[in-house]
């Protein structure tokens, strides 16, 4: 099998210098360090637009060029070396950007600003071209002026904290913002054909203190959606009515063992490509919680827990073959690869590599 390029990033307050290039062997599950792909400040999350060979990374800071905002860096990838060259930077119109997504046309990039409590929509100039760059923010809804914080967890929910921004899996006419501080999943109408504007359309209210973080739509049921609650350590199964533009709750299920009482924060969520299993990472319990997904109802049933081989599993991803799950353990400075059992969903550790404070792992494939 041909090796697959992998990029890993994280905070740069220690020895890390930005975004690193690895090679992944899908036959053995081994990660091979290659090079520093690009120097960058706190690139805690990034997304890849393979149509124009660009990578877009948040720079999770609170000040940029004298403004109270983080920023976003656009890079173009050299297809021979895999290294990244900076194209340009743009302010994210809010402090501590932490998540972003590119629409399928490649015309827009949407970013979630955690501390700023806002969303930024940036146009991509000359989409489809290797020379394309990011334009300045053109739409910037702020949840601090739109919604109320719940104070369910007083030191975390004192104001709006948008932790993720996603687009609907069908036509991308809707955008979804998980607001940890307001315990809301906000649905926006997204005018991606013309202005790029975001307009609030509906809200789904989580129980006070849930702290919604990230979501994932089912690959084989586009109206089924799953949200990991960072503060209550639960998974919510929701159904999205595309006609109404609204979410409805189907199921609420704990992601920790009943007897685990120590501090924990839910983090990442993903679904196996075959649609049979859902995985959630737990920071504190330091495990991946594994659920099976009912083929017809979409409801979850607990399969088990897999220790991540490190501390504070902030992010994980599934490789393009669907056979391996790769976890970044931020506090133990390592990345661990697990083989996925296609029939049971269970994980078996196969390899590990040292990496300073990994917070995002993405395949270029």
> HEC states along 240-290?
EECCCCEEEEEEEEECCCCCCCCCCEEEEEEECCCCCEEEEEEECCCEEEE
Question: Are the C-beta atoms of 135 and 151 separated by less than 8 Å?
Answer: no
Instruction: Name the phi and psi angles at 73, rounded to 5.
Output: -110, 135
Residues 6+ apart with CB under 8 A from 66: none
Q: Return the ∠ at Cα 49 (arms to 48 and 55), rounded to 5°.
A: 50
Strand order in the sheet with 334-340: 313-318, 324-329, 334-340, 347-354
Could you tell me the CA-to-CA distances from 237 to 125, 176, 229, 254 in Å, in that order? 37, 15, 11, 11
- Cα distance between residue 360 and residue 350, in whole Å: 20
Dihedral sign, Cα of residue 17, residue 19, residue 23, residue 27: positive
- Cα distance between residue 177 and residue 167, in whole Å: 9
Question: Are the C-beta atoms of 206 and 186 separated by less than 8 Å?
Answer: no
From the CA atom positions of the chain, what is the Rg in Å?
Answer: 19
Could you tell me the CA-to-CA distances from 231 to 211, 251, 254, 361, 364 in Å, in that order? 5, 17, 11, 23, 32
> Among 307, 302, 303, which residue's Cα sits nearest to residue 283?
307
Is the pTM here over 0.85, yes or no?
yes
Could you tell me the CA-to-CA distances from 26 to 5, 324, 331, 342 in Å, in that order? 11, 8, 26, 15
What does the DSSP 8-state code read for residue 64? B
Strand order in the sheet with 358-363: 30-39, 18-25, 4-10, 358-363
70 in helix, strand or coil?
coil
Residue in this structure with the two tokens 């949840």, named with its chain if needed = 143
> Among 170, 181, 176, 174, which residue's Cα sits nearest to residue 208?
181
Q: Return the ∠ at Cα 364 (arms to 360 and 365), rounded to 5°.
A: 135
Q: Give average pLDDT by consecutive 10-residue segment, the chain, 365 residues.
A: 94 96 97 98 95 92 98 96 97 98 94 98 89 94 98 98 97 97 98 94 98 97 97 98 98 97 97 97 98 97 98 98 97 98 98 98 95
- Cα distance between residue 281 and residue 267, in whole Å: 6
Q: Which helix (H) or strand (E) holds 143?
A: helix 143-146
Q: Report pLDDT for 1.
A: 67
- Determine what percent of the chain falls in helix, strand and coil, rounding each to the nearest 5: 0, 55, 45
């Amino acid at each position: 099998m041909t090796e697959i390029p992998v990029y890993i990033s994280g905070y740069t307050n220690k020895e890390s210098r930005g975004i690193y290039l690895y090679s992944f062997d899908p036959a053995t599950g081994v990660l091979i360090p290659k090079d520093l792909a690009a120097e960058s400040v706190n690139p805690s999350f990034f997304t890849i637009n393979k149509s124009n060979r660009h990578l877009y990374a948040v720079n999770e800071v609170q000040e940029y060029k004298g403004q109270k905002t983080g920023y976003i860096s656009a890079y173009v990838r050299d297809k021979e070396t895999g290294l990244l060259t900076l194209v340009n930077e743009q302010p994210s119109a809010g402090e501590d950007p932490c998540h972003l997504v590119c629409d399928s046309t490649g015309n827009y990039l949407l970013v979630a600003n955690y501390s700023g409590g806002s969303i930024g929509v940036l146009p991509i100039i000359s989409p489809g071209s290797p020379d394309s760059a990011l334009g300045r923010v053109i739409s910037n809804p702020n949840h601090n002026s739109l919604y109320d914080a719940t104070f369910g967890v007083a030191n975390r929910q004192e104001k709006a904290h948008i932790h993720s921004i996603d687009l609907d899996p069908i036509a991308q006419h809707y955008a979804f913002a998980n607001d940890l501080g307001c315990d809301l999943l906000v649905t926006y109408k997204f005018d991606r054909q013309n202005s790029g504007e975001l307009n609030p359309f509906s809200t789904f209210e989580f129980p006070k203190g849930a702290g919604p973080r990230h979501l994932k739509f089912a690959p084989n049921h586009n109206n089924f959606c799953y949200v990991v609650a960072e503060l209550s350590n639960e998974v919510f199964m929701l159904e999205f009515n595309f006609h109404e533009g609204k979410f409805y709750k189907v199921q609420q299920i704990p992601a920790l063992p009943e007897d685990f009482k120590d501090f924990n924060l839910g983090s990442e969520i993903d679904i196996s490509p075959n649609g049979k299993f859902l995985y959630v990472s737990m920071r504190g319990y330091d495990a991946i919680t594994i659920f099976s997904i009912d083929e017809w109802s979409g409801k979850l049933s607990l399969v088990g827990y897999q220790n991540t081989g490190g501390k504070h599993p902030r992010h994980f991803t599934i490789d393009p073959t669907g056979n391996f799950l790769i976890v970044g353990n931020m506090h133990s400075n390592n990345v661990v690869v697990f083989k996925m059992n296609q029939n049971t969903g269970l994980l078996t550790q196969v390899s590990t590599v040292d990496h300073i404070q990994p917070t995002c792992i993405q395949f270029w494939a």
